[in-house]
Amino acid sequence: MSVTTLKGSVCVVTGASRGIGKGIALELGKAGATVYVTGTSSSAQKYTTDEKAGGTVEETADLISTTTSGKGIAYVCDHSDDAQVKDLFDTIRSQSGRLDILINNAFRIPKSGPDGLFKNFWEEGGIEAWDAMHSVGLRSHYVASSYAVPLMRDSPPSPSGNTPMIGMISSFGGLTYTFNVAYGVGKAGVDRMAKDMAQELRGEGITVCSFWPGVVMTERMKNVVDSGDWDKNVGIPLDNAESPAYTGRAIVNVACDDNKLTKSGNYHVVAELAREYGFFDENGTQPPSIRSLKFLVPAYMLDEKTRNLVPDSIIPDLKLPFWLMAGGRPDEDAKI
């Protein structure tokens, strides 16, 4: 597949100053697209939502424009403010006259920071965590999609020949317990939103999908690991971690698939899309799906000493059914 297959396409990636959103925006740029990069962290406004992780919408947009064949446009937008979101899509209509891809990735960390992801729902900050993650991370996806679809419907045919797509960044947390109650309910809502939007968009030629990355080594993730919180609260090895670009490459491949409407309304695991389309992560590997034994056995069934003795090549790439994954992570006592 040509890296310029999205040339002439106009895309929006929400929450793209860092992390998965930044990785997606860069990959869309590499495919030749014009990418509106949204978020609240801004160099121009001297504001960031995460000083440790860094990143601004201007930095991402500049990287797209200077290191890829695409064009990056920074747009400061608080996705909890409906008026700002409406202004975003009005601006895209007046500036670009079209919209081909919307990636709903914006996500608000609780005020307590990443620590808030590991708190039980009845503990201090539990209600604030619910409101933060659901206002920007669930409701925000609904609002952005509501404003995006009329522009997609009014857009002329894409110069690259691709039909429009809305992508929702979700996770296995919508299926099985991950982090805490608020996180899981939010991701389950995102997946159901994609499913039901696909029903209402039948006949419009607009694909709506949820994408499930695995464990992604974002800037925030690196800080969580460095602080010791990952080992304390999760504890699984990170040998199979993905880069943010892996999700971006999944989205580009689906966006350029002439038959992508058959995927509409469903969730799709990034690692499984890599095997379907034949793309690789930045380091040249194909990290396994979280439901693959290649991920699950080292992560949950082997202690560190045993894990170092078992070569990856002897673990089969067999995937557990989703209904079984819904049962939750194995007992710590199951390790050998």
Q: Using alpha carbons, select from 47, 34, 41 the residue that is nearest to residue 16.
A: 41
Give the separation between CA 6 and CA 32, rounded to whole angstroms.
5
Give the separation between CA 236 and CA 26, rounded to whole angstroms.
29
Q: Catalytic residue, from 147, 183, 246, 267: name it.
A: 183
Give the separation between CA 196 and CA 192, rounded to whole angstroms.
6
Cβ–Cβ under 8 Å, residues 193 and 141: yes
Cβ–Cβ under 8 Å, residues 104 and 118: no
What lies within 8 Å, CB to CB, of 116 at 6+ separation is: 109, 110, 125, 128, 129, 132
Give the separation between CA 246 and CA 236, rounded to whole angstroms.
20
Q: Kind and range of the H or E element at 153?
A: helix 140-154
Report CA-CA distances (Å) from 220 to 29, 174, 191, 230, 280: 23, 21, 24, 11, 23
Report CA-CA distances (Å) from 54 to 21, 60, 74: 14, 11, 16
Whether 183 is a known active-site residue: answer: yes
The dihedral over CA atoms of 117, 121, 122, 126, expressed in degrees to the nearest 10, equals 50
Cβ–Cβ under 8 Å, residues 309 and 336: no
The pair phi, psi for residue 104, each rounded to 5°, is: -85, 100
Give the separation between CA 152 and CA 159, rounded to whole angstroms.
14
Query: Dihedral of CA 101/285/215/41: which sign?
Result: negative
Report, as residue numbers or ranges, the catalytic residues: 183
